[in-house]
Structure 1
Amino acid sequence: MKRFIARHEPEETEKRYAEIVAERSVTIHHDEDGTGSLYAENLPSYVLAGIDRRLDHAAKSLTEDDRTLAQRRADVFVDALDHIDPDNEPARGTNLAIGVMVPASTLAGVDDQPAISADRDWILPANVLRVLATSGDPFWYRLFVDERDDVLAVSYHGYSPPEHLKNAIRYRDGTCRYPGCLRTVAKCDLDHREPWPHGQTCADNLWALCRHHHKLKTFRHAEPVPHDDGWAWHVGETILTE
């Protein structure tokens, strides 16, 4: 619904975006038990997506650590704030790519269709996208060119797909392909629908599955079956469709 409104009311979407971002703030609330909460409100979604990826990357790099991932993320966040030098701009650290899908018509200035995140969860108004595109050094990646150069139409030797095919599938799927699962592609595995080496390393045989549903498939508690023009899942006596 959010994407539908953004596509059909691009000017209103840009106006609402500007009004909301203008009210951005960070507040701290102290509780009575010696703890509290920090709230960052009305920040741009692309900024929050970048923070989320950086926290995950930093937290997961801490190996042999007894803390949970959530605890490590929280501690990494606090540690980053503790190291802010008031006299100098802090380094941004690892530059993890946060990509969006952009209609060619928007880039050409034909219309103002918004960009959409890979997980289909947030949008970026056209006017903001154009500012980012001209003020930074973005990497443009065209997934579909023509039948000869379509990265989704090529098979590759070996188990692991090349990085450009991984990116293409992540953008194609958005979330875990198990019906009803909304875990984002950033937190999913790329699974061979028909196990390798019998199944090819190609877009038709690769999809995003979260670790839980990947394990269900691996141990045959849930099996994908052809259904109409797509796939359904056979779970016990039940058939689940998207």
Structure 2
Amino acid sequence: MSLDTADALAFDHTVSTMATTMRVLGHPGDLDVRRAHAVGVLADPQATLDLLTAADLADPDRAVDPDMDPAICVAEDVAHATANPFRHPGRAGGVVRELRITDRDLLDDRHGVAVSPKLGPILLGRLRTWLLNAGTITINPVVDLDPRAHPPVDEHDPPARMAAMVRHRDPTCVYPACTRPSVHADLDHIDAYVPLDQGGPPGQTRPANLAPLCRRHHRAKTFGHFTYRRLPDSTYEWTLPTGRTITTHPPTPRPEPPSPPAPRGHHRRT
């Protein structure tokens, strides 16, 4: 971020004060680690206040015994708390995180990995720690990727579960070489939607006729004479205004983990 020089110096001083207080409270990290932690704490106004309240802990003239000061106890919790993306102070309804995880991942205590479009791969051990400290947790039903589970509708906008299914199916904008995440993209009708009262057929809004396009490529398709179609193998064939065709292939799926070795003394039947 770009700041006025005075504001930047004040910000740096506050971060340094918080990092110093963390050291007095027993934070084991070096200065850079503590400063990085302090910047994360600044995202929580109450936690920042708790830590700054204890900023004079090292002051020899402090009248209150630090061991008996309740403010110090709270500050110690702040100083040693780990970052948690499931906590967001002040946000009504909490924070929603999308995680892609299979039953195989959940059963693997050592190497299981969940994937989040925003956070990337997450080890299950770390995820468990976050969830244990997240307070109230609401788990939404999984998104069924089978198109048959999402019957066509006549409205222009797809239902929420259908929209989620399409974005799971295509994690990025389907224009050639575009990598913008589909979670931030528009859902485009491949064959343009025609309202029913204007002669359009029923069932135009369905997974097979929807694809995520970032705003730029959505406009190119709508106003720039670009056309495309979804093929049976999940690829997209684009036709440019020049007549040239380009194919967009779906992302490479994650390889299946190897099968566990057969127990000794037993033979696997084939």
TM-score w.r.t. the length of structure 2 is 0.52
Gaps of 5+ in 2: 13-31, 34-39, 51-73, 79-87, 195-200, 249-270
User: Does residue 200 of the first structure (1) align with residue 204 of the second (2)?
Assistant: yes
Instruction: Provide Cα deviations, 1:101-150, integer angstroms capped at 9, x if missing partner.
Output: 1112122347733111236x7111121223344554141422238x6x95
After the TM superposition, which segments of 4 or more aligned residues of structure 1 sit over 2 Å from their partners? 28-31, 33-39, 80-85, 87-92, 107-113, 129-136, 225-230
2:97 matched residue in structure 1? 98
Larger gyration radius, structure 1 or structure 2: 2
Instruction: Provide Cα deviations, 1:36-92, integer angstroms capped at 9, x if missing partner.
Output: 6999x99xxxxxxxx9xxxxxxxxxxxxxxxxxxxxxxxxxx9x7778761499933
1:61-210 equivalent positions in 2, closer than 5 A? 86-87=49-50, 91-94=89-92, 95-109=94-108, 112-118=111-117, 122-136=120-134, 137-144=137-144, 151=149, 153-197=150-194, 198=201, 200-210=204-214
Deviation at residue 206 of structure 1 after TM alignment: 1.0
User: Aligned residues: percent identity?
Assistant: 23
Code of the residue aligned with 2:185 in structure 1: it is C
1:29-44 equivalent positions in 2, closer than 5 A? none
Instruction: Check conservation: 1:102, 1:116, Cα contact below 8 A.
Output: yes
**Is the partner of 1:105 in helix, strand or coil?**
helix
Distance 1:182 1:195 in 2: 23
Code of the residue aligned with 2:221 in structure 1: it is K
Instruction: Check conservation: 1:143, 1:150, Cα contact below 8 A.
Output: no
1:47 matched residue in structure 2? none
Q: 2:244 aligns with which of 225, 238, 242?
A: 238
Instruction: Check conservation: 2:155, 2:205, Cα contact below 8 A.
Output: yes
C-alpha spacing 1:107/1:196, structure 2 compared with 1 (3 Å): same
Instruction: Check conservation: 1:174, 1:184, Cα contact below 8 A.
Output: yes
Code of the residue aligned with 2:211 in structure 1: it is W
Gaps of 5+ in 1: 1-27, 43-50, 52-77
Distance 1:83 1:131 in 2: 22
Instruction: Check conservation: 1:161, 1:201, Cα contact below 8 A.
Output: yes
Code of the residue aligned with 2:121 in structure 1: it is I
Number of residue pairs matched? 175
Deviation at residue 178 of structure 1 after TM alignment: 0.8
Instruction: Check conservation: 1:154, 1:202, Cα contact below 8 A.
Output: yes
Distance 2:2 2:159 in 1: 46
C-alpha spacing 1:127/1:183, structure 2 compared with 1 (3 Å): same
Distance 2:148 2:2 in 1: 51
**Is the partner of 1:92 in helix, strand or coil?**
coil
C-alpha spacing 1:30/1:193, structure 2 compared with 1 (3 Å): closer
1:68 matched residue in structure 2? none
Instruction: Check conservation: 1:232, 1:241, Cα contact below 8 A.
Output: yes
